[in-house]
Amino acid sequence: MKKLVLFLSAVFLTLGINAQTDVADARTYGIGQTVTVVAVATNGDELGPIRYMQDGTAGIAGYGGSVSGVSRGDSITVTGPLIEFAGLLEISTVTSWTNHGQAVIQPIPLQIPITSANESLESQLTEIQNVTFIETGNFSGNTTYTITDGANNLDVRVNTGTDLVGTAIPSGPITITGLIGQFNTNYQIVPRDLNDIVAYVAPGIEINVLLEGSTVLNNANYFVGNSSVINVTIENQGVSTMTISGSTFTGVDAGDFSSNIGATTIGPLSSQSFTINYAPSSTGSHFAAIEISSDDADENPYTINFEGVGTDNLATEPTANPTSLTFPLLEAYTVGGQYAAGTGASNYMVLWKHGSAITGVPADGTTYMRGDVVGDARVAYVGAGTSFTPRGVIANQDLYFAVYAFNGSGGFENYLTTSPATGNVTTLGENIGSYYTGISSSATSLVSDLNTLINPHTQITYFMYKQTMMSEFEVRDTTNGQSYVTCVYSGEKKIFDDPFDWTLTGYSREHTFAHSWMPTWPADSPEEPEYTDQHNLFPANLSEANQPRSNVPLGEIDGTVLQSYLEGTLGYQGSQIVYEPRDSHKGNAARAIFYMAVAYNFPLTGDLDSDKQDEQLLKNWHFADLPDNYEIARNEYIYDLQGNRNPFIDSVHYVCFIDFDDNIHIANPSGCDLSIEEKVQNNLVVFPVPSNDMVYVQVNGTEIQAYKVFDMQGRVVSAVEGLNVPVLELSGKELGSGTYLIMVDTPFGSANRKMIIE
């Protein structure tokens, strides 16, 4: 059985190509960060626009852009950001690629048992022998089937574009070749054509080695820890007798290992049991490899690489921590960090904290997972990579990071706790720019002007909400490597194991402006932009919040409560049944409804349901719960996705000038509960933050008459009066690196905001 014998990557050298990183390294980069790999495509258009590819280290999928024209066997250089789509790591959307033509050396399918189809082999070309399909009949397209080895099962995904569709599902033992994929929590093998599913022919001699009951692939690594005895099972999966010649240990600590694996024979479809003994002679990490010799022609010797810990029950401490921590990815909704590798280290742990420098230090012999608490900080990343993207980033946050090198696992970790790589960064705020140029709240055409401004925009299918808003924005870390998502209505924090799944969590995509309110209802078949608009969709507990809310208006309960769950309540407001969400979401919900009314010309009168929605109550909510840093980050993220913004988040005073019952302009508004000074402060925008060049300052809806820039000691470093400009442009280079406070004067008052120059 061929195991971990990937094709050689020498083809890349002959082409003179230098990749930014190999595929194994690329897989360690943080989500959202850009990688470049050189690899060979293992499928063509039979699987649609996705291309699985691999080099001599690992596999990865690529999606979108011109990569969809790549043929199976092409050697390609691919660049793009990393995403995780339903659990599958992808370079998506591919931003640039080069096709070098057919590779000289093609990938060889890796022969594995069903139990080895996991994350470590994701996107690699594999072969599984002697399995059968559970289902009968004919293959259909875009359908999942199941194979079994009698004890273990694995999904098989048949795509519509393959020539398998319409053919009979084999009834006997088969050998199946395909790519290891993942959908949600399930791994799967994806065959490409009829040649990938053939009748099983038993091999003559086939060695397989299990340690403590689990197959360990040839040339794989095995962490011993401090175990003194490892139980070994050697299987012969062939139909002829296999001869074992013996075993030897190699490596720097070979003398610490011994085994009773000697010369013997193992009959057809039989096995024998042995042991490996480990007795460390000193402290720290110990490394050796066992080579098991046999007459299996393609796996002789069968090699397993061992790592154990020494007499102190700890791995060797690294000699130097990583350095040069930088943040090449910085937005209001995400941060990506990178650092130079430490010395003598196999793994890294990144801590992060909001507001001040980290003082927490990891403890030796402790296994930490993403989200765990370490002193005054939390774990953002644990792994072998030199980059990270923490989850749960929002706007205008001062974030501090510390990166520690360590070796070992399973409670034998040894951390280098002195001089970690440290750094801090401030996430961006509103990046509005000139988006609202020409929009005036005093214009009678305000509603139509805003409608034109935010339309058309990129439509993202309802199906993609899990990938976009959930996996890449809403999901947060909690302890023990688990995640949670917050129900916007009730405030429930639902804990789950990644990846996120609607059914398993019992969550749904809630239309704040209810689907049935839309004059175009039903707008989901085919999907209309108003149905899929990300500004209107939020995660909510299906049975406890989404279904009770249904399509009833939002309101405040002052009568009988019909149903409640945490902070969300269904009941009577006067004689009308309404749903009241938690206080911290009331303003968000109001602004989503205002956006939908203007974006799609859906006034709050005109149909049975939306006519019951109290506009003045929504305006009260809007001013009582102004946009916070979460909502600002969400608006910026959706702007990147859809190419349009929610004006009522960016300019909170716009609602004063619109009658949403009829979507008409209000010339002389009254009753808005936001003072002039608050309007100015909430409409002050400084971008980008931080900046290494120009800084742009504006107050939406008015002009800047004067400004002052203060340093952190309160000294005025720049000041100008007598201005009358809609956008203030400042040179960061003239100010110099540092953190500043800028104060601006407008006809309606003054406002201030922090700005950072790098």
Question: Which token pair is 501?
Answer: 């799944």
Question: 175 vs 738, which has greater pLDDT?
Answer: 175
* Residue 435 domain-assigned (yes or no): no
Which range has the top average pLDDT, 158-172, 681-695, 741-755?
158-172
Q: What is the mean pLDDT of residues 310-338?
A: 95
Question: 615-624 and 583-599 helices cross at what angle (nearest 10)?
Answer: 120
Helix (H) or strand (E) holding 639: helix 629-642
The mean pLDDT of the chain is: 91
Amino acid at 484: Y
- Nearest by Cα to 48 from 31, 69, 29: 69
Tell me the per-residue pLDDT of 459-502, one tens digit each, with 9 for 90 and over.
Answer: 999 988 998 899 889 999 999 999 999 999 999 999 999 889 99
Of 247, 281, 309, which residue sits at a domain end? 309
Number of helices and strands (H, E) in the chain?
Answer: 13, 49
Tell me the per-residue pLDDT of 573-632, one tens digit each, with 9 for 90 and over.
Answer: 999 999 999 999 999 999 999 999 999 999 887 655 667 799 999 999 998 899 999 999
Per DSSP, the residues of 331-398 read -SS-EEEEEE--BS-SEEEEEEEESS-------TT----TT-EETTEEEEEEES-SEE--S---SS-E
pLDDT score for 679: 62
Task: With cut-offs at 50, 70 and 90, classify the pLDDT of residue 4.
Answer: very low
pLDDT at 9 over 60: no
3-class secondary-structure state, position 281: coil
Tell me the per-residue pLDDT of 112-155, one tens digit each, with 9 for 90 and over.
Answer: 999 999 999 999 999 999 999 999 999 999 999 999 999 999 99
Assess whether 523 and 634 both reside in one domain. yes
pLDDT at 12 over 50: no
Assess whether 83 and 151 both reside in one domain. no
| CATH code of the domain in which 68 resides | 2.40.50.200
Of 650, 674, 698, which residue sits at a domain end? 674
Whole-number Cα distances in Å, 75 to 50, 190, 476:
15, 21, 37
Q: What is the mean pLDDT of residues 274-278?
A: 98
Question: Which token pair is 96?
Answer: 């640039």
pLDDT at 108 over 90: yes
> From CA 216, how far away is CA 282, in angstroms rounded?
27
Assess whether 194 and 227 both reside in one domain. no
Of 674, 693, 715, which residue sits at a domain end? 674
pLDDT score for 218: 94
Assess whether 19 and 80 both reside in one domain. yes
Q: Report the domain count for the chain.
A: 6
Assess whether 157 and 176 both reside in one domain. yes
* Residue 431 domain-assigned (yes or no): no
pLDDT score for 758: 82
pLDDT at 51 over 90: yes
Task: With cut-offs at 50, 70 and 90, classify the pLDDT of residue 701.
Answer: low
Q: What is the mean pLDDT of residues 555-582?
A: 95
Q: What is the mean pLDDT of residues 633-649?
A: 96
* Residue 294 domain-assigned (yes or no): yes
Enter the DSSP assignment of 546. I
pLDDT at 20 over 60: no
Assess whether 370 and 388 both reside in one domain. yes
Q: What is the mean pLDDT of residues 306-334?
A: 95
Task: With cut-offs at 50, 70 and 90, classify the pLDDT of residue 753.
Answer: confident
Measure the CA angle with vertex 198, ends 194 and 202; round to 5°: 165
* Residue 498 domain-assigned (yes or no): yes
Assess whether 578 and 643 both reside in one domain. yes
* Residue 612 domain-assigned (yes or no): yes
Assess whether 292 and 391 both reside in one domain. no
The percentage of residues in the chain with a pLDDT greater than 70, rounded to a whole number, is: 95
Tell me which of 118-122, 697-701, 740-744 is least confident.
697-701
Assess whether 461 and 479 both reside in one domain. yes
Coarse DSSP helix, strand, coil percentages of the chain, rounded to the nearest 5 percent: 20, 40, 45
> From CA 161, how far away is CA 503, in angstroms rounded?
28
pLDDT at 17 over 70: no
pLDDT at 14 over 90: no
* Residue 436 domain-assigned (yes or no): no
* Residue 441 domain-assigned (yes or no): no
Task: With cut-offs at 50, 70 and 90, classify the pLDDT of residue 6.
Answer: very low
> From CA 45, how far away is CA 406, in angstroms rounded?
43
| CATH code of the domain in which 265 resides | 2.60.40.10
Instruction: Quote the domain boundaries for residue 415.
Output: 323-426
pLDDT at 355 over 70: yes
Question: Which token pair is 479?
Answer: 């302890």
Q: What is the mean pLDDT of residues 653-667?
A: 93
pLDDT at 552 over 60: yes
Tell me which of 374-378, 548-552, 651-655 is least confident.
651-655
* Residue 153 domain-assigned (yes or no): yes
Task: With cut-offs at 50, 70 and 90, classify the pLDDT of residue 745.
Answer: confident
pLDDT score for 696: 85
Question: 1 vs 439, which has greater pLDDT?
Answer: 439
Assess whether 17 and 79 both reside in one domain. yes
Assess whether 422 and 454 both reside in one domain. no
Assess whether 98 and 114 both reside in one domain. no
